[in-house]
Structure 1
């Protein structure tokens, strides 16, 4: 008997599945490491995938 497979989540087209990145500022800390800022994707809110269109259209 065939097994059903769950639907795959759609990868966000804006971040290509890499929702959170670290960007260096160019400034070094006292221990020699670099200061970084984290930025998350605005489209998927840092999840890496978007909701299917059917779920997004629910409601008024």
Structure 2
């Protein structure tokens, strides 16, 4: 997926984004364990207000 638009940084430690942070924890903690918390603390997150979005799929017939 390629998205063209305007990105706005999301601070996952800001209480205004508490629901987004919780969604990340609900998805990734069970999969990757507590070590994923380091990723959460060190990563940059952004919301993209899309003007255009492009997708591509090329299934392999086997």
Between structure 1 and structure 2, the one with the greater Rg is 1
TM over 0.5: no
Q: Which has the higher contact order (CA 8 A, sep 6+)?
A: 2
Question: What TM-score do you get using the length of structure 2 for normalisation?
Answer: 0.22
Question: What TM-score do you get using the length of structure 1 for normalisation?
Answer: 0.23
- Identify the structure with the greater helix proportion: 2
